[in-house]
């Protein structure tokens, strides 16, 4: 799938599931944006010595919170309610894979967290593209097209910093392993009205 290098595309029929419960997809999406902002802040906290990383991830965190606000505004405008935070099994599987892969060194921890983040952004970008091209709701089609472009930028930010600071690590080889792992789990998803579900 082009620049994202994802191995398995989302079946466009997933959008048919989404359209049956717009409130659910919007709630899940809002919380995905909040978690993305929190993730960026966590990386900053643990790697504050990298000034350029801090600067770029601060901007990214602000953008993710802005996206949360945008989704929340759509929810309010439509007379819907922001539900409670949802568990994201897909992200949890990626997180467990990341935890198993860290060798205890700081650089390994940083690279793994950046690749974990890049993977989530890549799949989110791909899901937003599928939504923008297949959803009947014109407002949401435009909205997801705009967000798709933003998520692609976030993916690039994480991959770039993994390559920059992954001294002593074959980041390209590691990214291929991440792509293979993601392919092995993604076929279990795309069956629910959530961004990754």
Q: pLDDT (tens digit, 9 = 90+) per residue, 53-108?
A: 999 999 999 999 999 999 999 999 999 999 999 899 999 999 999 999 989 899 99
Residue 15 burial class via C-beta count within 10 angstroms: exposed 0-12, middle 13-18, buried 19 and up: buried
Give pLDDT, residue 166.
96
Q: Which residues of the chain have pLDDT under 50?
A: 1
Distance between alpha carbon 24 and the CA centroid of its chain, in Å?
A: 18
Q: Is position 84 within any domain?
A: yes
Range of the domain at 156: 14-187
Check: CB of residue 67 under 8 Å from CB of residue 33: yes
In a domain, 197, yes or no: no
Q: Which residue, 2, 42, 38, 25, is CA-closest to 125?
A: 2
How high is the pLDDT of residue 86? Answer: 87
Which CATH number covers residue 80?
A: 1.20.1260.10
Distance in angstroms (rounded) separating the CA atoms of residues 93 and 97: 6
pLDDT attached to residue 4: 83
Residue 6 inside a domain? The answer is: no
User: Which pTM value belongs to this model?
Assistant: 0.96
Number of domains composing the chain: 1
Q: Is residue 4 part of a domain?
A: no
pLDDT of residue 2: 64
Q: Is residue 8 part of a domain?
A: no
């Amino acid at each position: 799938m082009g620049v994202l290098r994802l191995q398995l595309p989302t079946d466009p029929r997933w959008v048919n599931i989404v359209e049956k419960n717009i409130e659910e997809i919007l709630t899940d999406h809002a919380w995905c944006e909040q978690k993305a902002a929190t993730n960026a802040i966590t990386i900053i906290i643990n790697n504050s010595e990298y000034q350029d990383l801090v600067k770029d991830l601060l901007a990214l965190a602000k953008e993710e919170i802005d996206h949360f606000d945008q989704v929340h505004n759509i929810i309010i405008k439509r007379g819907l309610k922001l539900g409670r935070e949802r568990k994201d099994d897909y992200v949890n599987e990626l997180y467990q894979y990341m935890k198993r892969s860290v060798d205890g060194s700081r650089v390994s921890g940083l690279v793994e967290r950046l690749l974990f983040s890049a993977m989530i952004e890549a799949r989110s970008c791909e899901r937003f593209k599928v939504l923008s091209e297949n959803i009947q709701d014109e407002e949401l089609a435009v909205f997801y097209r705009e967000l798709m472009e933003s998520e692609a930028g976030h993916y690039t930010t994480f991959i770039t910093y993994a390559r920059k600071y992954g001294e002593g690590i074959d980041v390209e080889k590691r990214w291929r392993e991440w792509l293979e792992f993601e392919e092995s789990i993604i076929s279990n998803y795309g069956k629910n009205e959530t961004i990754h579900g």
